[in-house]
Homo-oligomer: A and B are copies of this chain.
Amino acid sequence: VLGLLAERPMSGYDLTKHFDESLAGAWSARHSQIYPELARLQEAGLIRVAEEGPRGRKRYTVTEAGLKEVRRWLVATEPDRTSRSEAYMRVFLLWLVEPTDAHEYLRRQAEFHDQNLTRMESQVAALGETTPAERWTRIGLEAGIRHERTLLQWTQWAMGEIRRDLARRRAIERRQAAEADRAAVRPPEPTLPPPAEDQVAPAGL
């Protein structure tokens, strides 16, 4: 919050939107967390109300003490580098479900990464290059774009892996079925696109 207010004065409402939009992918915060936090920061003398507007709007700025504090935090404390991703963790459990379900899961992941990619690319396009803050927003978004692109490519590779496994399994089942019972009627199999060659080679293989 201090860092964001250092760029320009903002209200709690503005901060909330900022977390949901430009900072999505890095951090998020709800208004229910932001408003009490603003009160605490003001109490501590790190921010102050710069302007009051209509509908009770209060726009906050960092004080000198607040600016000093956020700089101290940036240079003197180590970031918590533990990362948590439910979506990523689920991948390790996909062996528990049917290949068609796993494939569907990855398809949605691909969709998600594709949307993020599009959003971030338009954010970069809409960005100036005048202030240092904009310069660093661009550098940060570059990381996000590369990240989303990489994971999008990974989902495509992984879906290909599933299709290959499935094709292999079907071939075996067909062979066995042909040997055991040529005349019996079987229920139709779930439909998935046929295995395709990858555009992207798996890393480390």
A: residues with CB less than 8 A from B are 3, 6, 23-28, 67, 70-71, 74-75, 79-97, 101, 105, 112, 121, 124, 131-133, 135-137, 139-140, 142-147, 149-151, 153-154, 157-158, 161, 165, 202-204
Contact = CB atoms under 8 A, between A and B. Distances in A.
A203 B142 contact: yes
Which of A80, A93, A135 has most chain B Cβ within 10 Å? Answer: A93
Contacts of A132: 95
Q: Is the interface of A mostly helix, strand, loop or mixed?
A: helix
Given A3-B93, A70-B93, A142 B121 contact: no
A112 B13 CA distance: 35
A28 B124 CA distance: 33
A146 B153 contact: yes
B203 A23 contact: no
Contacts of A161: 139
Given A27-B86, A88-B26, A154-B142, A81 B3 contact: no
B81 A96 contact: no
Contacts of A137: 92
A96 B70 CA distance: 8
A96 B150 CA distance: 29
